[in-house]
Structure 1
């Protein structure tokens, strides 16, 4: 318009008057980039509001008696960033698809891995995990001494429907950031597989407050108690994980200005190498940085399915090895 010349004069006044043409061009380019970013942010906000409105509408429809179609995750892409997963409310602690199309009989699946250490006592430990979840919900009272663990009689009371494991590729975790914003992590056993949880025991100030694990498989089972035949089978989501442990031989943390160093729990010790996790207990995904300078080792575990996708290393001889250490990226 008629006053556009005032804009040019204003920009000129922000330069040092030496080679001002280039300085004006750079400022104009920066302003255009900021405009594009603002447009992108405004568009994203509008889309999120639209999705929220659609989700609320679907919730009302579901409450009125119309069920949502189940999500088929059998053919989900390995790269979860490329998968258009269905919308899930940010108020949910986590989201795992409802599909039951991809499944295996637990005994057939375990036997297919032979003497793999990852599946040793898999069925017994899975039942212990399920019983513990039911106990925490007040749905199960064990007949055992708490120091000895669940008894054989306790395990026989738990029924896993058709002994089936229903597989999933991705679990999405919702969490609150330090600036009180809701954020989401996508956990996939083939990539982005590391998670963090609160440490179970409250120790002294030197005790690390978190435990870390690598997700090996994501699945759900349908369970009920044998002595409650009128009870409906209840879905229970489970993450099968391989545990890390803190390496206390080196300092870590903000006071030392160094990242905490962790290692996979080796086989043969008193600590559990593998375990099961309730998705509700996961704080968020974790970013583990391999300690490349420390190299790889094969002594932590023999060849196992828990190492993920075979052939992921450029060197075939490294398929059955692990990085000796990882650093927890803060």
Structure 2
């Protein structure tokens, strides 16, 4: 499902649809309006990418990340409920620089367009876990179990900055979140996942 999903993400961006966390699914006919120039033969996959952010003392700084090596990023949550966690977290599996062409009746720009896309594995907040300064505990998250929602694509401009995760050693490792064995979604040499992580603050 990699190609249909990345086309859905790019098509949403080309149509100017606001990202709300749920990738919209388009029909095959609509996806055909997105053309990869050179049929993905010249997609650039950078070994590293930079995130510009503002520090707490209002200075400019950068995070240098390496996709596929445990790099984790955070973005503002798109959830609106009062109890929603303020941020979303994702492990970056790959970064792509793609030249696309938007054709068809909905196209606003018929020229080749350069797009940057992150391929990510999503984390979710551990349910019923209380955190914060009053509780004296760090936020706790874990990988979303294997499902269509476990992986997705993200516009790098939505990323706030990188974040540091600490494995929750007491929760041990598990293969319930993803089939056991080597995977692009895991670090080299790993065959299972930590059940949960603390977000270092």
What TM-score comes out, normalization by structure 1 length? 0.54
User: In the TM superposition, what are the counterparts of 1:143-154 in structure 2 within 5 Å?
Assistant: 149-154=25-30
* Aligned-partner Cα distance in 2 for 1:192–1:307: 8
Q: Which runs of 4+ in 1 moved over 4 A?
A: none
Indicate the residue corresponding to 2:80 in structure 1. 202
1:127 correspondence with 2:14: no
- Determine which of 56, 64, 67 is the counterpart of 1:178: 56
Structure with the higher fraction of residues in strand conformation:
2
Q: Give TM-score scaled by structure 2 length.
A: 0.87
Three-state SS of the structure 2 residue aligned to 1:136 is: coil
Native 8 Å contact 2:73 2:161 kept in 1: yes
List gaps (5 residues or longer) in structure 2: 19-23
How far, CA to CA, are the matches of 2:187 and 2:111 in structure 1?
Answer: 35
- Aligned equivalent of 1:246: 125
Contact 1:189 1:308 in 2 (8 A): no
Cα distance 1:184–1:170, how it changes in 2: closer, same or farther (>3 A)? same
CA RMSD of aligned residues (A): 2.1
Select the structure that is richer in helix: 1
Judged with a 3 Å threshold, the aligned counterparts in structure 2 of structure 1 residues 198 and 284 are, in CA distance, closer, same or farther, namely: same
Unaligned runs of 5+ in 1: 1-120, 139-147, 312-318
Q: What are the Cα deviations for residues 264-300 of structure 1, in whole angstroms up to 9, with x where unaligned?
A: 00014xx710000111000000111111222111111
